[in-house]
């Protein structure tokens, strides 16, 4: 049996949930959203402090793993992606970061009309219910609650004082006129609970009679007839099914699944499609290319227990905190385990920050413990150091023509000398902060990279062993004006009518910060483009 709809949205993630919710605001159109995952309601998914646990949980994660990285000792990097309504906003770290205004101005300079910072700012503001007043930079009254992280009183003041004494800026609002500096981050948390795009956009919209949401549905092929996208084939309830779209199909699968589905549908590099026995519908060499992510390493030092989260992760105390959170939405569980967030320059001549650093009072591997039953994780503080604009470009390719097969992914971290030199600069900078009073009084011996790692060659070797991505993949179906572009500035797939892409894959260049906010903006802008077409 073939179903029909006006607008078909494939993928209910960070952007797709927004697209479906916004399109369904028009009661005169039928909107259908198809999602491979489920409508997950597990309590851990709403608990901010639990995000490292849910990110590792196979129930909510596609569980991708990359190809051997040639510049990182051939290590395979984990590539988690959220699976379920809300996509990666269901499992991410909840940091709300737009990137730098110039990031979007550079998109416009690539010939992408309508994508300068002034162009996209209204769509950021449309989503927001910001912690501050509505002004030029921020909106209030939107579905997405943007709250200010509540810094702890033991470690945050010491850290900020140390940073200020070294000449670093501090910022109350990283999304105002100046991004640079240290402060407490903005977070997408609502009343102490994770604000995924499913919770904040989609679930309220699902009450509308013109919105149909189909979960547990694996998309297998977009049908193209006479150059137009007309239908989706998918597997749901153990059988093959089909939906026809009378107006448009909007592909929102993310940086890995969007190029995979395009290639399974015959849209992509012709030679690669033929290798897998897939008939070429549209030769688009850029599909799966231009993959970008933020390389990241963690600098870890021992610390006095009173400034870490160790005591609060003791099972009995954690249980009391959980009861407080369930009753009031407040307490330590209602916050993410980040003390400070900073956008900094590793060279004084740079016009904008090239590093994002996140200071944490624990290791990401810390788990609940109890005396005599399970030992606590070591008492540590950690700094995640993220390179914001790497030069390396990776790819996404098909492993086979089987839609159940996971795609092949190469991030290509540390591919250039500039990418490697970034880490030689940031490691000494963080070490200096850790060694500066009053932070130095509570920070102990360095664990990673370790006190013996000093020379450029030693730092390079450690980075090759330690580097991962920040799990911000973008760019694999990029907007553009040249032959390598997959879609145009209105997100329309080149050479195919009735098919748009709205997700992280369309970014021509990665933005300087966590990518979830940009994905939500893309969802807002895509819905606006479609409704005004």
What residues are labeled active site? 472
Task: Copy the structure tokens of residue 176.
Answer: 């105002």
Which conformational region is residue 208 in: left (phi greater than 0), alpha (psi within -120 to 50 degrees), or beta?
Answer: beta
* Residue ranges of E strands in 449-511: 468-469, 499-501
Task: Copy the structure tokens of residue 417.
Answer: 């000398």
- CA dist 379 and 272 (Å) reads 49
Q: Give phi and psi for 91, each to the nearest 5.
A: -130, 0
> Helices 117-127 and 101-109 meet at what angle, rounded to 10?
130
3-state secondary structure (DSSP) of residue 308:
coil
Q: Give phi and psi for 129, each to the nearest 5.
A: -120, 85
Which conformational region is residue 277 in: left (phi greater than 0), alpha (psi within -120 to 50 degrees), or beta?
Answer: left
> How many residues are recorded in the chain?
533
Burial 94-105 (b: 16+ CB within 10 A, else e): bbbbbbbbbbbe
Of 237, 260, 395, 372, whose CA–CA distance to 314 is shortest?
372
User: Is there a contact between 464 and 406 (Cβ–Cβ < 8 Å)?
Assistant: no
Task: Copy the structure tokens of residue 168.
Answer: 């670093």
* Residue ranges of E strands in 365-473: 380-387, 395-397, 408-410, 443-448, 468-469
- CA dist 117 and 109 (Å) reads 11
């Amino acid at each position: 049996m073939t179903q029909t709809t006006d607008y078909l949205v494939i993928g209910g993630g960070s952007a797709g949930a927004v697209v479906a919710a916004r399109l369904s605001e028009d009661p005169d159109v039928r909107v259908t959203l198809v999602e491979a995952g489920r409508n997950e309601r597990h309590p851990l998914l709403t608990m901010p402090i639990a995000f490292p646990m849910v990110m590792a949980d196979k129930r909510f994660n596609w569980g991708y793993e990359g190809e051997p990285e040639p510049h990182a000792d051939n290590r395979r990097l984990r590539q988690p992606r959220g699976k379920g309504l809300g996509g990666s906003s269901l499992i991410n770290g909840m940091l709300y970061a737009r990137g730098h205004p110039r990031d979007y101005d550079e998109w416009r300079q690539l010939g992408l009309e309508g994508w300068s910072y002034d162009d996209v700012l209204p769509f950021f503001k449309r989503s927001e219910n910001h912690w501050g007043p509505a002004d030029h930079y921020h909106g209030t009254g939107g579905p997405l609650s943007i709250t200010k992280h509540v810094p702890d009183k033991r470690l945050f003041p010491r850290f900020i004082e140390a940073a200020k004494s070294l000449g670093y800026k501090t910022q109350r609002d990283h999304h105002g006129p100046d991004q640079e500096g240290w402060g407490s981050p903005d977070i997408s948390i609502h009343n102490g609970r994770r604000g995924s795009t499913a919770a904040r956009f989609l679930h309220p919209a699902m009450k509308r009679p013109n919105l149909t949401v189909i979960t547990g549905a694996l998309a297998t092929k977009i049908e193209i007839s006479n150059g137009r996208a007309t239908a989706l084939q998918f597997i749901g309830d153990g059988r093959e099914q089909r939906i026809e779209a009378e107006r448009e199909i909007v592909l929102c699968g993310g940086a890995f699944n969007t190029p995979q589905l395009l290639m399974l549908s015959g849209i992509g590099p012709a030679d690669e499609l033929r290798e897998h026995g897939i008939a070429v519908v549209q030769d688009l060499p850029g599909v799966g290319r231009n993959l970008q992510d933020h390389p990241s390493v963690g600098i870890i030092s021992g610390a006095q227990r009173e400034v870490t989260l160790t005591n609060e992760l003791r099972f009995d105390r954690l249980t009391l905190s959980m009861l407080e959170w369930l009753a009031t939405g407040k307490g330590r569980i209602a916050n993410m385990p980040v003390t400070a967030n900073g956008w900094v320059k590793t060279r004084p001549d740079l016009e904008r920050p090239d590093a994002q650093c996140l200071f944490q009072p624990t290791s990401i591997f810390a788990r609940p413990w109890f005396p005599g039953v399970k030992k606590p994780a070591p008492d540590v503080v950690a700094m995640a150091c993220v390179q914001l604009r790497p030069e390396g470009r990776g790819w996404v390719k098909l492993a086979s023509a089987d839609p159940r097969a996971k795609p092949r992914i190469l991030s290509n971290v540390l591919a250039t000398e500039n990418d490697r030199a970034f880490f030689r600069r940031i490691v000494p900078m963080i070490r200096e902060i850790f060694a500066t009073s009053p932070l130095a009084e509570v920070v102990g011996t360095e664990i990673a990279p370790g006190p013996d790692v000093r020379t450029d060659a030693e730092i390079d070797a450690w980075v090759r062993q330690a580097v991962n991505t920040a799990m911000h993949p973008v760019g694999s179906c990029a907007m553009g004006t040249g032959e390598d572009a997959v879609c145009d500035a209105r997100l329309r797939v080149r050479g195919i009518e009735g098919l748009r892409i709205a997700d992280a894959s369309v970014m021509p260049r990665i933005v300087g910060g966590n990518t979830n906010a940009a994905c939500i903006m893309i969802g807002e802008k895509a819905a606006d483009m479609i409704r005004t077409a």
